[in-house]
């Protein structure tokens, strides 16, 4: 692995550390092999476990939605690649779902580096989610305990929301696109000077509760 600061895990806004990983789809170089694409990198506690199985089926069924967002999926756990392959076969044979994305066979280095190791649970990884943008920058980090499976709707939502935010230089309200106050509107960054603040309230381009809370439909 290259350019990895092992003294701390990467944070939001940091580049994903460069690493070479073994996966069910062969060796991958992160984040270089995904340059120009968004990536959802998610860890699970272990193969052949019930909650993880439901999650992988759920992710697999939503692959096309992620691809429409120019976003790829990649799983990870501290299991050998042979276990990953056998688990994939079991899922396809018994549940009728093919796992179309790669799964990293981690020896513990990636999990430790990204803060995925579950405290007090040996080498098991937590249910971590790293959303990495098309420039290799970590934009979102989510953690779930072993007992709670992830909500795939939320992961699709945050990828879509961040892409819209980046493209339009806007912010997204709570529960977007179904916010209780402004529906599917987006929030305009607050004015940074008196002149702009006064103009905001007269603008026909926005709707405003006040000069610091203006919104519009894209």
Sheet with 19-23, side-by-side order of all strands: 26-30, 19-23, 103-105, 71-77, 38-43, 127-132, 138-144
Per-residue model confidence (pLDDT) at position 2: 43
Catalytic annotation present for 208:
no
Pairing of β 26-30 and β 19-23: antiparallel
Domains of the chain: 19-150 (3.40.30.10), 169-218 (3.30.1020.10)
Q: Strand, coil or helix: what is 104?
A: strand
Per-residue model confidence (pLDDT) at position 160: 98
Per-residue model confidence (pLDDT) at position 177: 97
Span 63-72, mean pLDDT? 98
Residue 155 has pLDDT above 80, yes or no: yes
The pLDDT-based confidence of 122 (bands split at 50, 70, 90) is low
The predicted model scores a pTM of 0.91
Residue 7 has pLDDT above 60, yes or no: no
Per-residue model confidence (pLDDT) at position 166: 98
Q: Which of 52, 71, 208, 214 is catalytic?
A: 52
Contact, 71 vs 39, CB < 8 A? yes
Span 9-23, mean pLDDT? 95
Buried (b) or exposed (e) across 107-128, using 16+ Cβ within 10 A?
A: eeebbbbbbbbbeeeebbbbbb
Contact, 102 vs 74, CB < 8 A? yes
Report the range of poorest mean pLDDT among 2-6, 85-89, 90-94: 2-6
- Backbone φ/ψ region at 43: left (φ over 0), alpha (ψ -120 to 50), beta: beta
Span 89-113, mean pLDDT? 95
Per-residue model confidence (pLDDT) at position 124: 72
Arithmetic mean of pLDDT over the chain: 93
Span 77-104, mean pLDDT? 97
The pLDDT-based confidence of 123 (bands split at 50, 70, 90) is low
What letter would DSSP give residue 128? E
Pairing of β 103-105 and β 127-132: unpaired
């Amino acid at each position: 692995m290259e350019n990895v600061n092992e003294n701390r895990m990467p944070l939001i806004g940091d580049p994903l550390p460069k690493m070479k990983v073994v996966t069910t789809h062969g060796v991958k170089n992160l984040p270089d092999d995904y340059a120009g694409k968004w990536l959802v990198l998610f860890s699970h506690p272990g193969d052949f476990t019930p909650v993880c199985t439901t999650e992988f089926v759920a992710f697999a069924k939503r692959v096309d939605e992620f691809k429409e967002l120019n976003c790829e999926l990649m799983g990870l756990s501290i299991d050998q690649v042979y276990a990953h392959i056998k688990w994939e076969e079991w899922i396809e044979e018994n549940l009728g779902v093919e796992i179309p994305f790669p799964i990293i066979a981690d020896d513990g280095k990636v999990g430790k580096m990204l803060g995925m190791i579950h405290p007090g649970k040996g080498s098991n990884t937590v249910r971590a989610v790293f959303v990495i943008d098309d420039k290799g920058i970590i934009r979102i980090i989510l953690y779930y305990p072993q007992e709670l499976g992830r909500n795939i709707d939320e992961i699709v939502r945050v990828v879509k929301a961040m892409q819209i935010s980046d493209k339009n230089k806007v912010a997204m309200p709570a529960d977007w696109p179904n916010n209780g106050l402004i529906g599917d509107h987006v929030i305009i960054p607050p004015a940074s000077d008196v002149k702009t603040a006064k103009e905001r309230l007269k603008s026909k381009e926005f709707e405003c509760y006040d000069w610091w809370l203006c919104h519009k439909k894209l």
